Amino acid sequence: MRNRKSKASAAAEKKKQGTMTDNQGKKIVVASTNPVKVRAALAGLQRMFPGQEFLAEGISVPSGVADQPMSDQETLQGALNRVQRAREKQPEADFWVGLEGGVDRVGSDLTTFAWVVVQAGEKIGKARSGTFFLPPPVAQLVAEGMELGHANDQIFSQVNSKQKGGAVGILTQGMLDRQELYVQAVLLALVPFKSPELY
């Protein structure tokens, strides 16, 4: 009996610290119902921890920032807020993941990227995706207040492109899509969980 309790206590402590403990299925709560974000979070965790089983669920939570974040800091804050609210909504999960897409100015040009925040227990990992420049017609609409996904749909005659390949999928003509872009950022956000002794 004592041995069972000690094992349970050890598992609880490891969960609190955000370390991987066993091969039982881990629950991922993604702070969005966008299927691209849910798939990216799941794929990143599966790739980083190939011997572990995961189950991902997307839930709707407010980001606490503008629908179209217009700076690096605002975008990161949106991802942090999403994780916090997802954790409040489903505290029993093993991982909470927030992905927030945003834009920022570089000179007269507009760039786009995403921030990813992953939390497990009390440990948090953060990473930013690759960045690319938006074409002027899209950038103009965003600067005028339109959300990037809607601007892409209007300029490129798409429907709900943000839940498909996104701007990067359109502009690379399918060589790189939004999910793949996000997966890399999820992997980088998981570095503290892969090498916990260093974080």
Residues 120-143 have pLDDT tens digits of 999 999 999 999 999 999 999 999
CA atoms within 13 A on the CB side of 10: 9
Pair 106, 70: CB distance under 8 Å: no
Residue 11 has pLDDT above 50, yes or no: no
Average pLDDT over residues 174-199: 96
Q: The whole model's pTM is what?
A: 0.85
- C-alpha span between 97 and 67 (Å, rounded): 18
Predicted confidence band at 159 (pLDDT cuts at 50, 70, 90)? confident
Amino acid at 104: D
End-to-end CA distance of the chain: 34
